[in-house]
A and B are shown apart, each in its own frame.
Chain A
């Protein structure tokens, strides 16, 4: 046991002292913050105005001005014909030219069929759909007028509905917080996925390094291969925990700073009434979100997260170590990586389904299969999972962790001393059957 302690210490301290670790640890949250805030920032930037020249011979559009970045410039039909209007549009360097022809008998369908948009080059999808919507709106008005219905009445009868969903299943009647739950589930599952991949491959690389530097033979004459493998896995796991903790700490710090610097002033200024109107929450909107959050069992989720985080990593790390032991160089590891990465990626795909239908069959079974359960169960948990399901899933994960680690260590102890030809899967299985 003392030897495992020494190995853990070495694995931990050599990694934590590396420059790359320090840089990545400090830079990670900045990068993550950038990933989170950059899209919002970019979306808030003003885009180039796009001017569409319109020759509206039917006077259909009623000189509609356009919207934010799409402006419509009308040419008087009595002074321009199609050719001169198009030439004018090109001379002005306008984005596109739209021609709405005159309909003989005022037939809106004729206009709909014959309206055309010209541009030298491809047209932006947003412009195209905006124009189509606008045309449809005005053509509808024309048709209503033709049948004698006042469009004003139609406009007044339009009603917007915000469905208030109540979840009766959670004891107290709370407002539905599906989006928040999906967010929590997704982030938790994704964090485990990243963690396993990032640090599992570090375990693999560490084993390959010991093989290529040939230090392994010295090591195994002092410690048992199993001690080496577990020492390495635990040591790297601790590095990961440290990094993760620092990330969460720094990340929340950055978040608080960013929110107070950029978002709060915006909300406080002119945007607030506007924003509230847009979201159109009921008056007690924020309060209801707050009470919805209270319905989520955060303690249970965090405790389960730590469990799945640790055992998911341990389960996969043992497999990564076995793969590392089987090859001499990293480029040879691809073939053996596939059976490890496949269930992880599959888990990630199933999450999407599980978030949409957390109690469905697919979500249930994949949260039981140990190779995917750390991801899928985390996605399900915020929606509430029956205790027996959670306990069963954890139990299966624990048992498989023990069995897989035992199996992986059997391959590992042979693999680390094998050099030369890259083994096949059958050979790996044969190694596992070797006696010591």
Chain B
């Protein structure tokens, strides 16, 4: 869907993107991660043709990115806003028409979306009368009215209460199922783990990590395991096992172990003779991966 080759962008002395290569597969929900100032917004602005790269190329569905792609892209910026003195309905119509949607078709879609988001009563109200959450929903609708093939969401959940966050999250997942490619830029790792198929992590304009969420988690396995046994005490363990912590709670033994992959088999054999309650590998948290990789740089 999107392929970046050697994308480079600098503002004066500041290098925002450093020869970035990147690929976003069609139909995926792609997490664009990175600390503040990593170059996420610069990259997004280049896709949106708000700015142009100094060098390098960007392809949209295999074609060189051009003005004709603008109407296929929907963009919800992090810093968002609407014309405060414009009516909700008019505003949506205006933004849809700017994305080259037919007037009658745009009106139809606006009605549908406003109904879905329970905003019908607000159609003829000025945007400044809306609550922040409602304005955010209107903004979200505006991003989707032209049924984009590529949706770019920059911190989409900021400003939403938990209930609305759930509504938006469902909507994103529904769009993903229907085949819309979604680039999802955020600091919130828990929502990335819930939504994204694959991610890229950039820091200081350079790519530091890339791949499917599963592969990355695999790559960052800690080798730590949680165990719960219905035993009071185990005195001898097989070789190659390091006990990080243990505690006895309500007659059960809670343990945290570290083991090398080649010793896993012998441990399982050992445990088969015991009364085992839980054996679970500690999953690598994206949060920790994020902190770890950006700190290394």
Interface residues of A (CB under 8 A from B): 2-3, 6-7, 10, 14, 209-210, 213-223, 417, 419, 430, 434-436
| Complex alpha-carbon distance, A3 and B142, angstroms | 16
- A435/B54 contact (C-beta < 8 A), A6-B97, A218-B95, A221-B75 known: yes
Known: A218-B142, A221-B70, A435-B52. A10 touches B79 (CB 8 A): no
Do residues B70 and A214 form an inter-chain contact, with CB atoms below 8 A? no
B129 to chain A, nearest CB (A): 14
Whether the Cβ atoms of A213 and B81 lie closer than 8 Å is yes
Give residues of chain B (81-123) contacting chain A, Cβ–Cβ below 8 Å.
81-86, 94-95, 97-100
Given contacts A222-B99, A223-B98, A214 and B79 within 8 Å (CB-CB): yes
Are A430 and B12 closer than 8 Å at their CB atoms? yes
Contact B52 A218 (CB under 8 A): no
- Minimum C-beta distance from B119 to chain A (A): 18
Contact assessment for A221 and B73 in the assembled complex, using a CB-CB cutoff below 8 Å: yes
Judged by a CB distance under 8 angstroms, whether B191 is at the interface is: no
Q: Which residue of B lies closest to A225 (CB)?
A: B50
**Given A14-B86, A213-B84, A222-B95, are A436 and B77 also a contact pair (CB < 8 Å)?**
no
**A6 vs B100: C-alpha distance when bound (angstroms):** 11
Tell me, yes or no, whether B80 is within 8 Å of chain A by CB.
yes
Bound Cα distance A100, B54 (Å)? 92
Please name all residues of chain B whose beta carbon is closer than 8 Å to the beta carbon of A10 when the two chains form the complex.
Answer: 86, 94
- Interface size range on B against A: 20 to 34
Bound-state CA distance A435–B86 (Å) is: 33
Contact A434 B11 (CB under 8 A): yes
Inside 8 A of A6's CB, which chain B residues have their CB?
94, 97-98
Q: Is the CB of B52 within 8 A of A215?
A: no
- Using Cβ atoms and an 8 Å threshold, which residues of chain A touch B81? 213-218
How far is A383 from B296 in the complex, measured between Cα atoms in Å? 77
Query: Which residues on the B side are within 8 Å of A218 (C-beta)?
Result: 75, 77, 80-82, 95, 139, 142
Say whether B94 contacts A417, CB under 8 Å: no
Contact B85–A14 (Cβ < 8 Å): yes
Q: Which residue of A lies closest to B77 (CB)?
A: A217
B48 located at the interface, meaning its Cβ lies under 8 Å from any Cβ of chain A in the complex:
yes
Chain A nearest CB from B135 CB (Å) reads 10
- For the complex, give the distance between the alpha carbons of A2 and B95 in Å: 13
The answer, among B11, B50, B139, for a CB contact under 8 Å with A221, is: B50
Q: How far is the CB of B142 from chain A (nearest CB, A)?
A: 7
Residues of B within 8 A of A209 (CB): 83-84
In the complex, chain A residues whose CB is within 8 Å of the CB of B84:
209, 213
Q: Which of B75, B82, B97 contacts A215 (CB 8 A)?
A: B82
Instruction: Report B288 CB to chain A, min CB distance, Å.
Output: 32
Q: Kindly list chain B residues whose C-beta atoms are within 8 Å of the C-beta of A436.
A: 51-52
Q: How many Å from the CB of B27 to the closest CB on chain A? A: 22
Residues on B with beta carbons closer than 8 Å to the beta carbon of A217:
50, 75, 77, 79-81
A234-B91 Cα distance, complex, nearest whole Å: 20
Pick 5 A–B contacts, CB within 8 A, sort by A: A216-B81, A217-B50, A217-B79, A218-B75, A222-B99
Which residue in chain A gives the minimum CB-CB distance to B46? A436
CA distance A218 to B11 in the complex (A): 22
Chain B nearest CB: distance from A224 CB in Å?
8
Smallest distance from the beta carbon of B58 to chain A beta carbons, Å?
13
B32-51, CB under 8 A of A: which get 1 and which 0?
Answer: 00000000000001001111
Q: State which residues 1-35 of B face A: CB under 8 Å.
A: 11-12
Which of B11, B12, B84, B98 has the most C-beta atoms of chain A within 10 angstroms of its own C-beta?
B98
A6 to chain B: closest residue by CB? B97
Q: In the complex, A223→B82 CA distance in Å?
A: 15
Add 6 more A-B contacts to A7-B98, A213-B84, A218-B82 (CB < 8 A).
A14-B86, A214-B77, A217-B79, A218-B81, A419-B79, A436-B52
* Contact A222–B70 (Cβ < 8 Å): yes
Closest 3 CB pairs of A and B: A214-B81, A436-B52, A217-B77
Question: How far, in whole Å, are A117 and B44 apart by their CA atoms in the complex?
Answer: 85
Contacts of A435 in B (CB 8 A): 52, 54
Across the two chains, which residue of chain B brings its CB closest to A214?
B81
Residues of A within 8 A of B52 (CB): 435-436
Smallest CB separation, B220 vs chain A (Å): 34
- Check if A214 sits within 8 Å of B80, measured CB to CB: yes
What is the CB-to-nearest-CB distance from B68 to chain A, in angstroms, rounded to a whole number? Answer: 13
Q: What is the distance, in angstroms, from B104's C-beta to the closest C-beta of chain A?
A: 15
Evaluate contact between B98 and A417: CB separation under 8 angstroms. Answer: no
